[in-house]
């Protein structure tokens, strides 16, 4: 059996190029730690996006979210006429709130939504890594609360030294400028 070597010190990583099976029996490569995407360094000062950029990103995000919610509302449109109006409206609101939460948290967990990619903004935790599921769900709940309180978390960003929104501060996340 011949060992395939790569550039660098292969004695420290003898299984780097061997293929392993996952739970379904499919072969997968062991990832090379040098090829993984690097989060911004903790010790390097990262730039906070301007308030104008973040608010423009929110406008674009809301347009995308309206389209997602419009498509997601179709299955409920067949059921709603058969329910009493109060129950149908309440059910629709809860359903759309859950759909919006799933949409946003899935993308926030990866670091960027489509609007954030367009505007060069990335969501990271306080160490510069992608946020955890608990952090993005907390951020989503706090963002909904922020909207219910007429954007007080956005207004507070004007007064804060680091210019971060309140929902980011309480969730342990931050928005950074990320052109890539």
Question: Which pLDDT does position 179 carry in this prediction?
Answer: 80
- Provide DSSP, the chain: -PPP--SS--SS-TTTT-EEE-TTS-EEEPPPGGGSPPPPPSSSPPPPPPHHHHHHHHHHHHHHHHHHHHHHTHHHHHHGGGS-HHHHHHHHHHHHHHHHHHHHHHHHHHT--HHHHHTTEEEEETTSSPPPHHHHHHHHHHHHHHHHTTTHHHHHHHHSSS---HHHHHHTEEEEE---
Most confident of 70-79, 92-101, 152-161: 92-101
Q: What is the pLDDT of residue 118?
A: 95
In the prediction, which pLDDT does 84 show?
93
Q: What is the largest CA-CA distance in the chain?
A: 71
Residue with the larger pLDDT of the pair 49 and 36: 49
Share of the chain above pLDDT 70, in %: 74
Q: What pLDDT, in 10s, does the model give residues 121-134?
A: 999 999 999 999 99
Q: What's the pLDDT band for 80 if we cut at 50, 70, 90?
A: confident
Spatial separation of the C-alpha atoms in residues 114 and 30, rounded to whole Å: 29
Model confidence at 23, in pLDDT bands (50, 70, 90)? Answer: very low
Q: Is the pLDDT of residue 172 over 60?
A: yes
C-alpha dihedral sign at 6, 11, 15, 16: negative
b/e burial code for range 145-159 (CB count within 10 A of at least 16 → b): ebeeeeeebbebbee
With tokens 């997968």, the residue in question is: 28
| In the predicted structure, residue 22 carries a pLDDT above the cut 50 | no
The residue ranges of DSSP E strands in the chain, in sequence order, are 19-21, 27-29, 121-125, 173-177
What percent of the chain is modeled with pLDDT above 90? 57
At 137-166, the pLDDT tens digits run 999 999 999 999 998 988 998 898 888 999
């Amino acid at each position: 059996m011949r060992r395939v070597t790569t550039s660098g010190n292969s004695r420290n990583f003898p299984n780097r190029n061997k293929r392993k099976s996952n739970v379904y029996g499919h072969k997968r490569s062991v990832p090379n730690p040098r090829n993984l995407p690097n989060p911004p360094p903790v010790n390097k000062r990262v730039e906070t996006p301007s308030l104008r950029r973040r608010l423009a990103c929110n406008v674009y995000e809301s347009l995308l979210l309206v389209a997602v919610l419009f498509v997601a509302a179709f299955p409920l449109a067949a059921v709603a006429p058969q329910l009493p109006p109060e129950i149908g409206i309440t059910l629709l609101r809860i359903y759309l709130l859950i759909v919006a939460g799933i949409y946003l948290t899935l993308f926030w967990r990866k670091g960027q939504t489509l609007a954030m990619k367009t505007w060069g903004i990335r969501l990271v935790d306080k160490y510069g890594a992608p946020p955890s599921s608990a952090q993005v769900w907390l951020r989503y709940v706090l963002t909904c609360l922020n909207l219910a309180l007429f954007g007080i978390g956005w207004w507070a960003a004007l007064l804060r030294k680091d210019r971060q929104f309140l929902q980011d501060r309480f969730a342990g996340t931050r928005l950074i400028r990320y052109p890539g």
